[in-house]
Structure 1
């Protein structure tokens, strides 16, 4: 690869365009070099954006602990006051969550999406109060929200906070 091509590639990645002085030299490159340069350039139309955690409510005194894996983003909303987890959000293209109609609980609206909370359980904490729901954000992205608490008051507060989430910028570049 020629020095001109490297400069053009670096500048394109940094600024999204090739400067005029380099663009005049690129047409003079051999076809083989132009093809190589084209293969190395990013193609935003084809690249799948990385998901981001939803926007937390401003009055919640929460922060995210984030774990990114192959095909998922796991966001834990942690209370700043005591470091306890208020709820979690798993963003992925396929969700293992299945609605169980016998376990239906509260109805709610999260960022304009009508949802139903479902009772859940955990073998490690049999006395815990568990609620979970799912939102289909678009054709290729689901948000599975889970909260595990010890008291009814904690459930009400954690649900209130989870119902205040905003998913508008979950996909970078989404409309």
Structure 2
């Protein structure tokens, strides 16, 4: 009888701790490789691929479409052209400029891209793809809430 009571007490006291561990684990799953943290309320998941000293991250919607993506490296291939300037925005608290771009074979897709310095010698080339203006604004909102971890970026580039 005493053993059952001790187990009950231990099990009841352990439940909150187990809940805390599962929350921490779920939070950790939001970050992969050198990808920034995705807030849980976006409903997005990372598709990640490490490429030497670079990180390739795609934020995927539930329907399998890409909301936005990024390539984090020392030397991004994207070179913004002033004539393609579209909108101003913010990512991780930093001011950015979004530039119009086009996707080959997908003339109906609204595409934008920007650059963001995310650490010492690390730049994120970030792009968004949308079917309409509403989806574009949603992608802007989602990218604005990204949080880059400087420690993680330095580790992923080693």
TM-score normalised to structure 2 length: 0.72
Match of 1:102 among 63, 83, 89: 83
2:113 to 129, 132, 142: 132
Decide which structure has the larger Cα Rg and report it.
1
Matched, 1:73 2:23: no
Distance 2:107 2:79 in 1: 20
Judging changes above 3 Å, is the alpha-carbon distance between structure 1 residues 173 and 129 closer, same or farther for their aligned structure 2 residues? same
Question: How many residues get paired?
Answer: 123
Structure 2, unpaired ranges of 5+: 1-32
SS at structure 2 position matched to 1:167: coil
Q: Is 1:142 paired with 2:127? A: no
Displacement after TM superposition at 1:172 (Å):
5.1
Do residues 63 (structure 1) and 45 (structure 2) align?
Answer: yes
| Superimposed CA distance per residue, residues 81-115 of structure 1 (whole angstroms, 9 cap, x where no aligned partner) | x2221100111111111121111111111112110
Larger helix share, 1 or 2? 2
Equivalent position SS for 2:153:
coil
Partners of 2:110 and 2:91 in 1: CA distance: 20
Name the CA distance, whole Å, in 2 between partners of 1:111 and 1:172. Answer: 17
1:122 matched to which residue of 2? 103
Q: CA–CA distance in 1 between the matches of 2:155 and 2:113?
A: 28
Between the aligned partners of 2:77 and 2:64, the Cα distance in structure 1 is 28
Deviation at residue 138 of structure 1 after TM alignment:
2.6
Equivalent in the alignment of 1:83: 64
Look up the match of 1:28.
Answer: none
Task: List, as ranges, runs of 4+ consecutive aligned residues in structure 1 with deviation greater than 2 Å.
Answer: none
Counting only pairs closer than 5 Å after superposition, residues 44-59 of structure 1 correspond to structure 2 as 52-59=34-41
- Matched residue, 1:32: none
1:37 match: none
TM-score by length of 1: 0.65
